Amino acid sequence: MKIAYPDEMKKIDRRTIEIGVPSIVLMESAAIAVANEIMKKMPKKVTLLCGRGNNAGDAYAVGRHLLANGVEVFAVMLAEPSTKDCRKNYRLFRRFGGNVIKFCDLKKHWNKIKESDVFVDGIYGTGFKGDLSSEIVELLEAVNKIHAFRVAVDIPSGVDGKNGEVRPTAFKANLTVTFGLAKPGHFFYPGRAFVGKLKIINIGFPEKFMTEEASLNLLTDKEASELLPSRPPYGHKGTFGKVLTIGGSEDYSGSVVLAALGAIKVGAGMVFTFTPEKVQSVVRNNIPEVIALAGNKPHLAITDLESILSTLSKVNVVIIGPGIGRKEETFELIKELLIESSARKIPVIVDADAIHALKSLNHDQINWENIVITPHPGEFSSITERKIEEVINNIDLVKEFSKKNKINVLLKGATSIFSSYTGEIWLNTTGNTGLAKAGSGDLLTGTIAGFIAQGIDMKAATILGAYFMGKAAEMCEIYEASMSASQVSSVYSKIFKHLNTIRASTGKIGGNHET
């Protein structure tokens, strides 16, 4: 599903107007869509919160349609209308009998206002950024406390449409109706917590314009179902691919176990692990299906290279990093493995401490396009040398780093950001706080690797893997605080059934997919 930055949506809007669709017609379509949603609540009294621009124009037009349906409507006018379409709809609202209350007079009418069944937010649109004034903060905090249904027009006021930033609060919507395409601010926290249910309605924008202008993507259930690898009935373990996970240390013996578990649970035919000697028994005792190989030191080192290379020729994809540690000898091994995997054109997922080894690599020695790194914000902050607050929800930074280094990046978070080495961006919003636990990242790397092993290309496998693990957490019948990564993996079968049901309903037959 396409997503547009606020500036991109403005271009779509402008191009639509330029081909002859009047802006007032687009506003009318938006208003009808919002009014229809509100009328489902059968309200008796509705209050509009109106700013000065076209977002307020939408709200005034919504009010007019509600008046036409016999609803009592008040409009709190925070400022005089400043655009042509807003002024027109303000005048029409007045002529239809709408009640207008100036912001400065709000306290006199507050007892009447707070009895409203529905509040409609038309203060700011998706172009808002920065800080709300203290007066608007006070208004929104008061409205948010009222027991009423709250509807945001396009995006809740106070939420930055580009990155979901909120300073210091926002309109707390139960429903947000947005037009044309969703915006990043709808999906990034903290803004996402203010959106409520999101409804996306095309009010007359040509599909061609939206496809051409929107640069972001969100993986939907339907799209995820189309990425699933096929499971031919005549398949054997070689058909479904082989994964090698390299990592583990005395302190982090479970990381490799979880990565291997992820690969097995999504269908990989065979999984190898290579760990320090003392971790080998942990793997064997927890997952007997895994072929557990080991070095002879307490940590992985360059002396293990020859043994690992003999296994490398047998596999389709390699994971490097879960629990591997940061010893210098280990970093030397990681560098050599990346060079060798690149020479053999084997896809590699680099995670955890192994990500830090990338800093000192000679860029020309490796085909980075065949590598995906999966950092959390702290790790990405380290390798980009940017403050952690600059990294979180920063699509531009992920894209810039990815394109500059010609490497695929999945920045993990409540909303994850994937950028291919060409700069193609995908967001993933599945998941919950059950994944805010040690081990989730390890499970994710294994999930991605398992899909790559089955023939899915790296980009598709990465976005599908992130979606898959998040969806499993959502469908896990365990309270989020009590959830563990291994319990999440036990739900993977449900996700396959869920996606196969969707795929069957579209009439598509499964197969290997490249995107």
CATH of the domain at 193: 3.40.50.10260
Domain-terminating residue out of 213, 235, 252: 213
Residues belonging to the binding site for AMP are 412-416, 441
Q: What is the mean pLDDT of each run of 10 residues along the chain (515 residues)?
A: 98 98 98 98 98 98 98 98 98 98 96 96 95 97 98 98 96 98 98 98 98 97 96 94 96 96 98 97 96 95 96 96 95 96 96 91 85 97 95 97 96 98 98 97 98 97 98 97 97 97 77 32
Rg of the chain over CA atoms, in angstroms?
A: 26
- Residue 511: predicted pLDDT: 40
Rounded Cα distance, 1 and 206, in Å: 15
The pLDDT of residue 364 is 81
Alpha helix positions (H), 291-346: 305-312, 328-343
Are 207 and 287 in the same domain? no
In this structure, are 103 and 179 located in the same domain? yes
Binding residues for K(+): 55, 121, 157
Tell me the residue range of the domain where 153 lies: 15-213
The bridge status of strand 45-50 relative to strand 317-320 is unpaired
Rounded Cα–Cα distance for residues 243 and 264 (Å): 9
Any domain includes 235: yes
Which residue among 184, 213, 242 closes a domain?
213
* pLDDT recorded at residue 360: 78
Domain match, 106 and 182 both: yes
177 and 272: one domain?
Answer: no
7 within domain boundaries: no
Residues 68, 25: one domain?
yes
301 and 261 housed in the same domain: yes
Residue 512 lies in a domain: no
- The count of domains in the chain is 2
Distance CA 156, CA 298 (A): 54
397 within a domain of the structure (yes/no): yes
Annotated binding site for (6S)-NADPHX: 125-131, 154, 323, 376, 442
Residue 404, in any domain of the structure: yes
100 and 61 share one domain: yes
Q: What is the pLDDT of residue 508?
A: 58
Give a yes or no: residue 3 inside a domain.
no
Q: Which residues are annotated as a binding site?
A: 55, 121, 125-131, 154, 157, 323, 376, 412-416, 441-442
Last residue within a domain, chosen from 213, 233, 260: 213
Mode of pairing for the β-strands spanning 371-373 and 270-275: unpaired
Are residue 85 and residue 130 in the same domain, yes or no? Answer: yes
β-strands 425-428, 416-419: how paired? antiparallel
SS3 category, 275: strand
pTM higher than 0.85 for the full model?
yes
Q: What is the 3-state secondary structure (H, E, C) of 34-59?
A: HHHHHHCCCCCEEEEEECCCHHHHHH
**Considering the domain boundaries, does residue 10 fall inside one?**
no
What does the pLDDT look like over 422-466, one tens digit per residue?
999 999 999 999 999 999 999 999 999 999 999 999 999 999 999
- Residues 299, 434 within the same domain: yes
Q: How far is CA 476 from CA 264, 473, 481, 488, in A?
A: 18, 5, 12, 6
